[in-house]
């Protein structure tokens, strides 16, 4: 759990289970406990059997180095880095040099359905949604994965839409 650095969304102390905490570690733990408590994971109940859906299957999706370079060039350099701390600025400024290698990784991931383990972790950032900023219940979690993963998801979705006229 990362504690956001922006003062706009950050409380200097929060109330968690009727207890005020103020250290960065305690605040992060309070958010962690709250978000974990409201997370709805798999249930023990059997899922209903639904009829198959007739829709195009994702197959033969591949990205070109030009598409990846274009996606990298369009990155917003003000966006936060993910847990790998690779900045959008670095990816954008070196897009031509990085695009061929990222293209190979992206296409292999799309072909095999497996993403590099290094792209799977993400930072969870609490974003204030309403009312009193001193209560953890008034925040929602936002996931910040690595920028290369975000770029891959955007690129493969765009490629799919163009290939299917969707």
Mean pLDDT check: name the lowest of 85-89, 138-142, 146-150, 154-158.
154-158
Is 90 exceeded by the pLDDT of residue 109?
no
Q: What is the DSSP string of the chain?
A: -PPP--TTT--SSEEETTEEE-SHHHHHHHHHHHHHHH-----SSPPPP-PPP------S----HHHHHHHHHT--TTSPP-TT---HHHHHHTHHHHHHHHHHHHHHHHHHT---GGGS-EEEEEEE-SS-TTBGGGEEEEEEE-HHHHHHHHHHHHHHHHHHT-
- Of the pLDDT bands very low, low, confident and very high (cuts 50, 70, 90), residue 7 is very low
Higher pLDDT among residues 68 and 37, named by residue: 68
Give the model's pLDDT for residue 150: 77
In the chain, domain spans: 61-165
State the pLDDT at residue 88: 92
Entry pTM: 0.64
- What is the average pLDDT across 122-132? 88
């Amino acid at each position: 759990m990362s504690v956001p650095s922006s003062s706009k969304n950050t409380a200097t102390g929060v109330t968690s289970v009727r207890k005020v905490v103020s250290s960065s570690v305690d605040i992060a733990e309070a958010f962690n406990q709250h978000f974990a408590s409201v997370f709805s994971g798999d249930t023990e109940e059997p899922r209903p059997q639904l009829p198959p859906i007739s829709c195009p299957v994702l197959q033969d999706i591949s990205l070109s180095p030009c598409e990846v370079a274009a996606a990298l060039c369009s990155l917003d350099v003000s966006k936060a880095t993910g847990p790998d701390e690779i900045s959008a600025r670095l990816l954008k400024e070196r897009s031509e040099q990085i695009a061929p290698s990222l293209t190979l990784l992206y296409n292999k991931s799309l072909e095999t359905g497996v993403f590099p383990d290094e792209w799977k972790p993400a930072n969870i950032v609490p974003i204030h949604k309403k009312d009193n900023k001193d209560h953890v219940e008034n925040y929602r979690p936002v996931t910040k994965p690595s920028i290369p993963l975000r770029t891959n998801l955007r690129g493969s979705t765009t490629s799919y839409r163009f290939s299917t006229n969707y």
